[in-house]
Structure 1
C-alpha cells in the first residue's frame, strides 16, 4: 500500500471506525506513558487514564497488611499461651519437687525416730538383762550344811517377816537333833499317837503343815523347810525362836 492512498482510505471510514481507531491510539499512548514513568515516580505524576489502578492496588495492600497484623496478633497470643503454660509447668514441677523433698524429709525423720526407739529399747533390754545377771550374781549361794541351812532360812524368814537369829536357831537345832536333818523321835507321846517329831527342829506333821512357809519344799525332812516352819510356829507361840530354850 502506498502512502498516497492512505488519506483516501481514511476519508472513506465511517464515524464508528474513526472512533475505534482513536480509542486504540489513546490506549497505546497511555501504555507508552506508563512505560516511560520511573519506578519511584510519585502517584500524582501518573496519567489520569490509569488513575483508578492505584486504588485497586492500595486496597489489596491494605488487605495484605491486615492479614499480616492478624497473623502477628495470633502468633503473639500463641506465644503468650506457651509462656503461661511453661510458667505453670515450671510452678507445678517446683511444687512437686518441694512436696517430694518434704515427704523424703518426713520419711527420714520417721526412720530416724524409729531407729532411735529401737536402739533405746535394745539398750533397755540389755540393761535389764545385765541387771538380772547382776542380781543373779548377787544371789547368795548357801552351802549344803548346817551353817548354810540356817543362813538360807534366816534370809527367807527376813523376807517373810518371821523373827529369829542365827544363835537362836543354832542353839535349838543342836538341842533337838544335833544338826541331823533326818532325825526322828519314835518314842515320845507324839510317836505313840502316830505323828512323830522329825527333822532339825523336831516338828510334827500337823504343825509343819499349818506353819509351812511358801517357797520352801513341803517336806518335813528338808532342812530349810523344817527350820522356817518351826521358826514360824515358835514366833506365833513364843514371839521368836530365840525365846525357846527347851521342848516346845
Structure 2
C-alpha cells in the first residue's frame, strides 16, 4: 500500500495552459469527439469495411477485441495496421479458432511483425473468454457494461485495468458496437486515457502529474470522457496529411482542434 492514497501529492502545472486546454475542450465537446471518431479516424473506416465483408456481427466484434489486444509494438502507423487487419480477415474469415487465424496472419504481417510469439500467447489467454460470449452478451457490454468488459479483459490477461491495450480494446469495442448496434453510446468516465508515448509527451506541456490522473481531472471538468479526449487529441499528435484533410472536411471546429497543437 502506498502513501499517495493518503497524501495528496501537489504537482507542478502551467495553469494558464491548463485553463486554455479546458476552454478548448469544453468548446469542442462530445459531438466533436464523435465526429473525429466516425468521420476522420481511418481505423473506424477499416472496421466498417470488415463488418460489411464479414457479415457476422458476433465474429466481427470478437475479432476487433482480439486485434486490439495485439495492437502494440507495431511496424507501421496504427491506421495501416487496422487496414491490413480489415483486408486480411475480409478475405480470410476465421474458420476455426481466432488464435489459429492469427497464427497464419501475424508472422506474415507487414505492419505488426514484432513479438509475434508473445502476442499469440495473449490471444490464447483471451480466446476462452471470447468463446464464452454471445452476441447478446456483447450487446449488454456495449449498452450497459463497458467498464465491466474492461475489468474482465484485465482479469483474463493479468493486466492492470489502466493498461494501454486494455483501454484501447474497450475503445475499439465501442467503435464496433456503434457499427453493429447502430447507436452511439459514450465511453464511461471511469475508463482511462491510453497512457502511450504521445499522450505522455503532450501531458508534459501542462504538468508533471501522471497522464492518467491529469486527464481524468480534465475529463471531469469538461464533461468529456477520457477515451473521447484521446480521440480529439489524436489528429493533433501525429495525424498524417489524410487525417488533417478529413478533419477539415468533416469537423466544423477543426481550427479549435488544431489550436491544441500550439498549447
Compute the TM-score of the two structures, normalised by the length of structure 1: 0.17
Structure ranking higher on relative contact order (CA contacts 8 Å, 6+ apart): 2
State the TM-score, normalized to the length of structure 2. Answer: 0.16
Larger radius of gyration: 1
